[in-house]
């Protein structure tokens, strides 16, 4: 999301438009929407008894393990240890979140399994944050918003720094084509250019945001 802010801002774009782009990047389930994806994963598992089968499915590439792993923290995300304690503090005030038992057991079994340990897949900060938000009564659709609010300060700092840098240039990431040098094609005058009456709509596996929010 910060890279998106800088990339858009490099075109001398106003901060509101650049922020919109950064927020769009943050909205993705692999970034700011990760805690929501964790919540859906825990709901799918349902109970502690289903965790071993779920982890076997992860190993077979049949399930996605959300909230584990980080590009920077290769051993254990120190923020996860802090937010785990905060989660219990919130639950003691707001009431117990049923999925917390599933989350704790999932973390325990994953950290004892050589498959995940060898791949340095440990819980990150997103693993518990979604549970905290839900226990506090925030709808699922608001999760990325809550994540974006504090990040806005950093995004604007990057935008301002870049704007005031006299050596700043428009960002143009290098793209290197690695495909085949020659490809067969149909001449334009021999193509069937008729369009279907209805275009198929493909939905992402992570497009259940509003459905989850209503549940």
Q: What's the N-to-C CA distance of the chain in angstroms?
A: 28
∠ at Cα 108 (107, 114), nearest 5°? Answer: 95
Of 114, 126, 141, 189, which one is the catalytic site residue? 126
- The active-site residue out of 31, 141, 158, 189 is 31
Helix (H, G, I), strand (E, B) or coil at 123: strand
Tally the C-alpha atoms within 13 A of residue 77's C-alpha that lie toward its C-beta: 20
* CB atoms near residue 183 (< 10 Å): 6
171 close to 2: Cβ distance less than 8 angstroms:
no
Catalytic residue among 70, 113, 158, 189: 70
Checking phi first, is residue 176 left (phi over 0); if not, alpha (psi -120 to 50) or beta? beta
7 among known catalytic residues:
no
CB–CB of 127/71 below 8 Å? no
Angle between helix 99-111 and helix 78-94 axes, rounded to 10 deg: 160
CA distances from 139 to 8, 80, 98 (A): 30, 22, 17
Residues marked active site are found at 31, 70, 126
């Amino acid at each position: 999301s910060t890279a998106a802010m800088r990339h858009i801002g490099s075109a001398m774009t106003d901060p509101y438009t650049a922020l919109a782009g950064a927020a769009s990047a943050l909205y993705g389930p692999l970034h700011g929407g990760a805690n929501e994806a964790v919540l859906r994963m825990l709901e799918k598992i349902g109970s502690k008894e289903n965790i071993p089968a779920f982890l076997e499915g992860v190993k077979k590439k049949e399930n996605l393990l959300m909230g584990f792993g980080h590009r920077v923290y290769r051993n254990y995300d120190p923020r996860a240890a802090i937010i785990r304690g905060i989660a219990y503090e919130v639950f003691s005030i707001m009431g117990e979140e049923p999925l917390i038992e599933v989350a704790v057991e999932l973390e325990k079994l994953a950290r004892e399994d050589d498959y995940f340990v060898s791949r340095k897949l440990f819980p990150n900060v997103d693993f518990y944050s979604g549970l905290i938000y839900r226990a506090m009564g925030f709808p699922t659709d608001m999760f990325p918003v809550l994540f974006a609010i504090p990040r806005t300060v950093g995004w604007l700092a990057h935008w301002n720094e870049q704007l005031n840098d006299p050596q700043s240039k428009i960002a143009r990431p290098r793209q290197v084509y690695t495909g085949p040098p020659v490809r067969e094609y149909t001449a334009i005058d021999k193509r069937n250019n008729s369009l279907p009456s209805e275009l198929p709509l493909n939905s992402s596996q992570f497009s259940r945001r509003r459905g989850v929010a209503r549940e």
